[in-house]
Amino acid sequence: MQQSRKNMSRRQGGFTLIELMIVVAIIGILAAIAIPQYQNYVARSQVASGLATLKGLQTPAELYIQENGQLATDLSDLGLDSTDYTGIITATSGTRENGVLEGAALTYTFQDGPYGTANDTMTLTRSGSGGWTCATSIDAGDPAVPDSCEGTTTTP
């Protein structure tokens, strides 16, 4: 009986060094995969937020154009306080030729983002026919660029 108690007290009481090293290696591999994916996710969400802001301004901008003949350059005329956003929003009034407004644009400039979108722009430009085209300075191959902003045109 004494002998069996002595053997039981020598049983393994924790993890071996090899087992701990395997766990650390697995965590390292998962982190190496997860961190870049998270950065892509954050960049996509920042760009999507900028696009959503511009799309939200599209209707008030179109209404202002219909009532005043050109786009307001003061964003408060469109009901926006630009200090509420993480980027800088600007409006370009455009020019009117032969009764048609050309070049009116809403631009979102991304601020110092941690994932490569700093100082990039996203622009909604109104065509003479009343459609809006989205363009961006972010590289076309970048996964952050939404499908809805690759030169597409939407009509009001």
86: CATH = 3.30.700.10
CB atoms closer than 10 angstroms to residue 10: 7
Model confidence at 84: pLDDT above 90: no
| 3 falls within a domain | no
User: 132-136 and 87-92 as β-strands: parallel, antiparallel, unpaired?
Assistant: unpaired
Mean pLDDT of 5-24: 77
| 2 falls within a domain | no
For the segment 103-154, what is each residue's pLDDT rounded down to a tens digit?
A: 889 998 888 665 556 778 888 988 878 788 888 887 766 767 777 776 444 4
Position 141 scores a pLDDT of 67
| 4 falls within a domain | no
For the segment 39-83, what is each residue's pLDDT rounded down to a tens digit?
A: 888 888 888 888 888 888 888 988 888 888 888 888 888 887 755
| Percentages (nearest 5) of helix, strand, coil residues in the chain | 45, 20, 35
| 9 falls within a domain | no
Q: Which residues form the domain of 122?
A: 15-154
Position 9 scores a pLDDT of 57
| 25 falls within a domain | yes
The domain total for the chain is 1
Position 152 scores a pLDDT of 44
| 6 falls within a domain | no
| 1 falls within a domain | no
| 5 falls within a domain | no
